[in-house]
Amino acid sequence: MHESGQVEVRPFYHRLIQRLRKVPGHKIVVLDSAYDFVRFTGKAKIDEDAVNYFIKVVLQGICDLTDSTLLIPWHPSQAG
């Protein structure tokens, strides 16, 4: 997630979508943690519009495309 609001999806995003689409029915997916799934550049992490866009468009898009519910703890990883 760039400071400009531009989203750059990486190969994992596409693999996740493909994998979830193969599983029939509704899914509950845990991505632990958000900071391992998304990288914010510049001031995007503190830019309310960028964070809002990530949640409401990118994450909701995964739910819509895959008939899934996402649970994503919003804490830094131990490694970070």
Q: What is the bridge-based pairing of β-strands 68-71 and 27-30?
A: parallel
**Number of folded domains in the chain?**
1
Distance between CA atoms of residues 10 and 7, nearest Å: 10
Q: What are the pLDDT digits (tens) for 17-30? A: 999 999 999 999 99
Average pLDDT over residues 68-74: 90
**Cα–Cα nearest to 39, from 19, 64, 10, 14:** 10
Provide the residue type at 40 as one letter: F
Q: Is residue 31 part of a domain?
A: yes
Domain that holds residue 38: 11-71
What's the predicted TM-score (pTM) here?
A: 0.78
Facing residues of 27 across strands?
A: 68
Q: Is residue 37 part of a domain?
A: yes
Contact 42, 2 (CB under 8 A): yes
Q: Is residue 4 part of a domain?
A: no
Average pLDDT over residues 10-20: 94
Six-digit token string for 53: 């866009």
